[in-house]
Amino acid sequence: MGFPDRIERTVEVAHPPSKVWAALTTAEGLGAWFGNEAKIDLRPGGSAWMTWTNGHRADMRVERVEEPAVFGFTWGIDGLPEDDPRRTYVEFTLEATGTGTRLTVVETGFAQLPEDAHRKAYEGNTGGWASELGELVGYLDAA
């Protein structure tokens, strides 16, 4: 079947790396071309988010900041619960060319299956709503 773990794209843009860097790493930039609104704390470990007018929201954690060459962040995998430990890593690499910038984006981690994390998620979800509802009933009964 082939489970894609890595997605990679390269584009050439006719603008210097400093300008591309600003578009990738500032709230103004991200909110203009990627999301509809964005906020970013640009340092490793800093948090960032983007929202879209359709209600979609992406929360990111900044991982690598090497101006103006490498910008990396992690974010959750679409469709998985918010507290799921699995995240993909997105890394933008900017290389100056004679006429502008070669921008590469690599996203990895779609095929990860951290043994313990998966087991934890599995065990955590086995009871699921039934056990949570059971706890609610117990709580209401005791009140």
136 near another protein, judged by CB under 8 A: no
Count of residues that interact with another protein, criterion CB under 8 A: 43
Structure tokens at 56: 């979609």
Q: Smaller CB distance to another protein: residue 23 or 27?
A: 23
Q: Is 139 in the site for another protein (CB under 8 A)?
A: no
Whose CA is closest to 26, among 53, 65, 55, 54? 65
Q: How many distinct helices (H) and strands (E) make up the chain?
A: 3, 7
The yes or no reply on residue 103 touching another protein (CB under 8 A) is yes
The token pair at 54 is 């359709």
Map residues 36-75 to x or -, x wherever contact with another protein holds by CB under 8 A: ----------------------------------------
Which strand (E) or helix (H) includes residue 117?
helix 115-142
- Give the other-Cβ count within 10 Å of 97's Cβ: 13
Cβ proximity to another protein: between 18 and 47 the closer is 18
As a whole number of Å, the CA-based R_g of the chain is 20
The reply to whether 34 sits near another protein by the rule CB under 8 A is yes
Strands 6-13 and 87-96: unpaired
Provide the binding-site residues for another protein, judged by CB under 8 A. 1-5, 7, 9, 11, 13-15, 19-20, 23-24, 29, 32-34, 77-81, 84, 86, 88, 103, 105, 107, 110-113, 115, 118, 121-122, 125-126, 128-130
